[in-house]
Chains A and B, each alone.
Chain A
């Protein structure tokens, strides 16, 4: 299996993390996203005409889009069938709903990070930050009520799903775009739980959880 990858991309990181959780070995094929802009070059555009990372190649099968890759990997390689509950229509719908939410986080929090960090000056950073805060308020409230019902994860059920993986990276990296998590305590408790999922890995800018006991 081969992953077209960039270390500082949260969307690539969610695939690396999930592959590690599933215990799948793979080759990283680094793309010089910045400053090389290799993802907009002819060679990579032949692989993905959208010029976006990540892209996964599994044998003869090739797939792009972080959320699509997560669902493919879970459906194919998660023997327990818990990460992407294809046999439970309601939960499956929920997972897809929150994966789309993860995409909206990419469109806002990640855009603000590109503006601040990689000088994407064409991005309207105020709108991106405001959009991220709006999403974080919604997720924080959702997680707060979930905790009151004794649940730990974004979707119903006792185990995490790929919706948790899809939403996690750009929430953790939001401060790099000037979006603080200070006002979202339920989100911060949830990120600590994600960090304790067996197989969790880090990327530049995201650190592992401390050894302490998780706060309820």
Chain B
């Protein structure tokens, strides 16, 4: 059963969230999903406009104006807000840059909370153990010191100066590299990583995880790629690489207990490599966010 959104959590209720990639939608064919415990239907009109409403397809509430939900297309996804949006959807300037290939790599259901997915996305320490021979390999397991900042104006966390040895950093890689990473958290349930592109010395590939909370402990993770890749003729080879990575993360994420992210600093012991997640948890506390987290003292 879906757990309904805690009405005392206006923070998530008033944010824009992704509910689907538009690539594979056939105009005029409605589909069902959920957001924050609320069952939703969506359809692309013949002119390509997203229409989203509360309820099930069988309820035939699509014509009911009261059931309509505010929706917009951005970055190849339908975004919706159930409450009153206080902020615009964050900017991803790379998306409109020349020479980049933008695509949804996968939308995968995960039995965990949205903040657990974001935190896993921000972690480098697991690379050699979970993504063996791709994003890391033993004995290159050390996460060297990196920088973390919170930018209050942009309401974003940035982790920079992150370096990690990777045997196969992307679908376009032909050899191991010391890859540079930057992480950006512009939304409590979305994060973007920037990493060395094997095909361009001057620019970084951008990979965003956009987490759709179906309810507090079930999500869909949408993976947006904006990459420079001249090696792979077909998008599917780029997608398949990222699907392999996410498939490796899945059992790790689904076995993290509790599923909701504990915000109490003493609930889970961090190490130096977790600097960015310490900042992330602190930010969620300061935002007064309640959804998908455990706030009480352990």
Contact = CB atoms under 8 A, between A and B. Distances in A.
Interface of A: 7-8, 30, 32, 34-38, 115-119, 121, 175-176, 178, 203-207
Chain B interface extent, by class: 20 to 34
A116 B109 contact: yes
Interface stretch (B92-100, B175-183, B187-195, B238-246): B238-246
Interface stretch (B77-85, B143-151, B248-256, B280-288): B248-256
A20 to B, nearest CB: 15
Contact of A117 (B33, B108, B237, B240): B108
B236 interface: yes
Contact of B239 (A36, A115, A176, A207): A36
B239 A32 contact: yes
Contacts of A37: 24
B240 A35 contact: no
A115 B123 CA distance: 28
A141 B183 CA distance: 49
B32 interface: yes
Contacts of B104: 35
Contacts of A117: 108-110, 250
A36 B106 CA distance: 9
A38 B24 CA distance: 11
A32 B244 CA distance: 12
B111 A205 contact: no
Contact of A35 (B24, B109, B110): B24
A35 B33 CA distance: 16
B239 A204 contact: no
Nearest to B34: A121
Contact of A7 (B24, B32, B240): B240
A28 to B, nearest CB: 10
A7 B251 CA distance: 15
B236 A118 contact: no
* A contacts with B: majority SS: loop
A73 to B, nearest CB: 24
A137 B222 CA distance: 35
Interface in B56-109: 104, 106-109
A176 B236 CA distance: 23
A34 B106 contact: yes
Interface string B230-271: 000000110110011111101100110000000000000000
B243 to A, nearest CB: 6
A205 B251 CA distance: 6
A203 B134 CA distance: 13
B23 interface: yes
21 contacts: A7-B243, A8-B244, A30-B237, A32-B236, A34-B243, A35-B21, A35-B106, A35-B107, A37-B24, A115-B109, A116-B109, A118-B108, A119-B107, A119-B220, A121-B32, A175-B254, A175-B255, A176-B111, A176-B250, A203-B247, A205-B248
Contact of B236 (A8, A30, A178): A30
Given A30-B237, A35-B106, A118-B108, A204 B24 contact: no
Given A37-B24, A117-B109, A205-B250, 4 more contacts: A30-B240, A204-B243, A205-B251, A207-B251
Nearest to B23: A35
Contacts of B220: 119
B111 A7 contact: no
Contacts of B32: 121
Given A7-B243, A8-B243, A119 B251 contact: no
Contacts of A204: 243-248, 250
A78 to B, nearest CB: 28
